A = this chain, B = another copy of it.
Amino acid sequence: MSHPSHPRRTPITIRDVARKAGTSPATVSRVLTGSANVRPEKREAVLRAIEELNYTPNLLARGLKTQRTQTLGVIINNIQDIFYSTVAKGIQDYATRNGYLIIIADTTDDLDRERKMLQLMRDQSVDGIIFAPMGGNQDLVKELQEEGIALMAVDRTLEGIQLPTVLVDNRKGAEKLVDHLIKEGFQRIALINSHKPITTYQEREEGYRNALRAAGWQIDERLIMRGGPRMADGRAMTIALMKRHPLPDAIFAASGSLALGALAALRELQLSVPDDIGFVVFDDFDYYRIFSPTLTAVRQPAYQIGQTAAALLLGAIREEKPLPPSPTILPVELMVRESSQKRR
């Protein structure tokens, strides 16, 4: 016992307020929650006591009693990823405006970690969870739903289960990009993609294939690269790609991280965009407008995805009514810039 137990300084409770206001804890609780009428004088006295004692309610105790914590869980792949942090920001702003706090965890796309985090949030009694499902953990998700926790997916879909979702049309976005490259006159369009079994990546690849097929082209599998999802992986894939035949004359990077890696590789190889090779990317960021050349991209409304998800979820939590069964699909926008302009 070298360290004496060090309890928090006894905080002020509802009893202290009641005593000071000359009333009962129940009445204090009533003014706190506004749940019932309290005579004006008493209410004043209580308010004054709260003010003087600088009292704030213990949310743990309240949550234990009410089974509601005014807290939302957010589970995303990676907080450092600007797409996800923007989604989180959208959730955060909406939640805060409505008196909810958010607990954030990221998984770095590890399925076990996703599972652990879902459980931990359940144990913390969050009122709802917004997450970017990796696929898998359907059993747990169903279990949580049955326990009455409102669940909501963003960015990705989860199969075999009824789960409300907010995302964009990845297929169409990819189609737009590839179609644009084709119209610009590019002939051998490569795809740099992640091999992770995540729906967004898969759908973007489908969009790529659809666009090529729609143009009547044959798909050359040698132009399709798959690897890890990180910047370094994008770089490696691009270097490998540019060492082989046939050489592509344009690259479609399926995500921002992959694109950064791919561009780093092209830079190292001293290839200039778009003169030596055209370039487009799924997911747009502010700094793409500053790159030289500026980057053609498909813009996803990341912030709005977060806002929408939070709004739907809180609506459901407060109205006690089920969430919309069909996915909410937000539009993507093609931003044509220099990197895809073939010099004629």
Contacts and interface: CB of A to CB of B under 8 A. Distances in A.
Interface of A: 3, 5-9, 11, 54, 56-61, 63-64, 67, 69, 71, 78-80, 82, 85-86, 88-89, 92, 96, 101-106, 119-125, 143, 146-149, 231, 260, 263-264, 267, 286-287, 289-293, 319-321
A28 to B, nearest CB: 16
A266 B241 CA distance: 34
Contacts of A64: 58, 60-61, 64
B60 A69 contact: yes
Nearest to A56: B123
A124 B48 CA distance: 23
- Top 9 A-B pairs, shortest CB-CB distance: A8-B148, A292-B292, A3-B320, A104-B104, A6-B320, A60-B64, A263-B290, A59-B123, A85-B85
B106 A146 contact: no
Contact of A9 (B3, B63, B124, B146): B146
A9 B148 contact: yes
A89 B67 contact: no
Most chain B CB within 10 A, of A5, A71, A143, A287, is at A287
A147 B54 CA distance: 13
A159 to B, nearest CB: 24
B102 A104 contact: yes
A82 to B, nearest CB: 6
A59 B101 contact: no
A179 B284 CA distance: 35
Nearest to A143: B54
Contact of A82 (B61, B80, B89, B119): B80
